[in-house]
Amino acid sequence: MPPRSRPRVLAAALLGVGMTVALAPAAAAAETQEDSRAEVRDGDVTECEQFGGGILVSVGDGEPVQNVALSYDGGVPVQDAFLSITDVPDDIAVTAIVVKGGASHHVYVPGRSGLARSHPWTDLRAPVTSDGVVPAISHWFACGEEAPSATATTEKRSVPTEPPREDVIGESSSSATPDLPTHTAESATTTSNTAAAPATPTTEEQPPPLAGDDDLASTGFSSGWLAVLGVALLAGGGVLLAATRARRGKAS
């Protein structure tokens, strides 16, 4: 039994070593792949001029500079190889995160190349070195500016436009309400008075003249003698009647 167990132990040990040797390159290769979320740039950079905004946080050899209260984990120079930014104030927009290590640096831009537009941003690091390893961070910084406020934008859109000039008001008033003639009011008053008062005929209608009158007038003949003749006949008749009665009285 003991002689048979030793070969088995030796075989198991050799198998374990072989698997370790086989898996080590794969693990190293996975670790040393470049971060596709970042842009690799050679050399060093310490300012935000080319990225927009100003420095929010800068961590390097000296004392950390924190102009805005960002929350982050890791990123200790010469000690950590990775950095995570976990929180950013609501009124701040991060424009870039720069992580330097070795001879080059990574530039992370939120919302670009697969990096999330808003925090958290995790596992940020420097570019892989020529040896195929992720170097320790030498320094890093974040750039940003004040984020546009939705309230400020709304107020700006609701600001009234510039009031029109006086000459424009004059033109619009004259075009909207044309000047009326000065005699319009007087004409309106006269018209209303005329409509209210009853119509008065200017010429009285005369009855048609009698045909006899017209004929006599046209011949120049006067009817006065007829009246005199009538009176004379009445007087004569009266005298004749009186004489007749007197005669009858005598005869009886």
**Residue 157 pLDDT greater than 70, yes or no:** no
Tokens read off for 215 = 């004929």
Concatenating the DSSP letter of every residue in 22-76 gives HHHHHHHHHHTS--TTEEEEES-----TTTSSEEEEEESSSS-EESS--EEEE--
Residue 240: predicted pLDDT: 75
Residue 211: predicted pLDDT: 47
Q: What distance in Å separates the CA atoms of residue 121 and residue 108, rounded to the nearest whole number?
A: 9
Q: How buried is 36 (Cβ within 10 angstroms: 0-12 exposed, 13-18 middle, 19+ buried)?
A: exposed
Residue 197: predicted pLDDT: 45
Residue 149: predicted pLDDT: 74
Query: Higher confidence at residue 146 or residue 177?
Result: 146
Instruction: Write out the H or E segment, with its range, that includes residue 237.
Output: helix 224-251
Q: Are 85 and 120 in contact (CB under 8 A)?
A: yes
User: For every residue of 70-118, which 3-state class applies, written as one string?
Assistant: CEEEECCCCCCCCEEEEECCCCEEEEEEEEEECCEEEEECCCCCCCCCC
Residue 216: predicted pLDDT: 42
Residue 151: predicted pLDDT: 58
* pLDDT tens track for 11-53: 555 555 455 544 444 444 445 789 999 999 999 999 999 999 9
Cross-strand partners of 96: 143
* pLDDT tens track for 197-250: 445 544 455 555 544 444 444 445 455 666 777 777 777 777 777 777 777 666
Tokens read off for 150 = 């939705």
Please give the DSSP secondary-structure letter assigned to residue 182: T
Phi first, then psi: what are they for 181, rounded to 5°? -60, 150
- 39: Cα separation from own chain's centroid: 41
Q: Are 26 and 114 in contact (CB under 8 A)?
A: no
Residue 219: predicted pLDDT: 47
Tokens read off for 233 = 């006949």
Q: What distance in Å separates the CA atoms of residue 97 and residue 105, rounded to the nearest whole number?
A: 10
pLDDT-derived band at 188 (thresholds 50, 70, 90) equals very low
Q: What distance in Å separates the CA atoms of residue 116 and residue 95, rounded to the nearest whole number?
A: 12
Q: pTM value? A: 0.51
Q: What distance in Å separates the CA atoms of residue 169 and residue 57, rounded to the nearest whole number?
A: 55
**Residue 194 pLDDT greater than 50, yes or no:** no
Q: What distance in Å separates the CA atoms of residue 27 and residue 205, rounded to the nearest whole number?
A: 132
* pLDDT tens track for 81-134: 999 999 999 999 999 999 999 999 999 999 999 999 999 999 999 999 999 999
**Residue 178 pLDDT greater than 70, yes or no:** no
Residue 222: predicted pLDDT: 54
Q: Would you mind telling me the total number of residues written for the chain in this entry?
A: 252
* pLDDT tens track for 55-79: 999 999 899 999 999 999 999 999 9
Q: Are 238 and 232 in contact (CB under 8 A)?
A: no
Helices (H), 50-165: 150-158
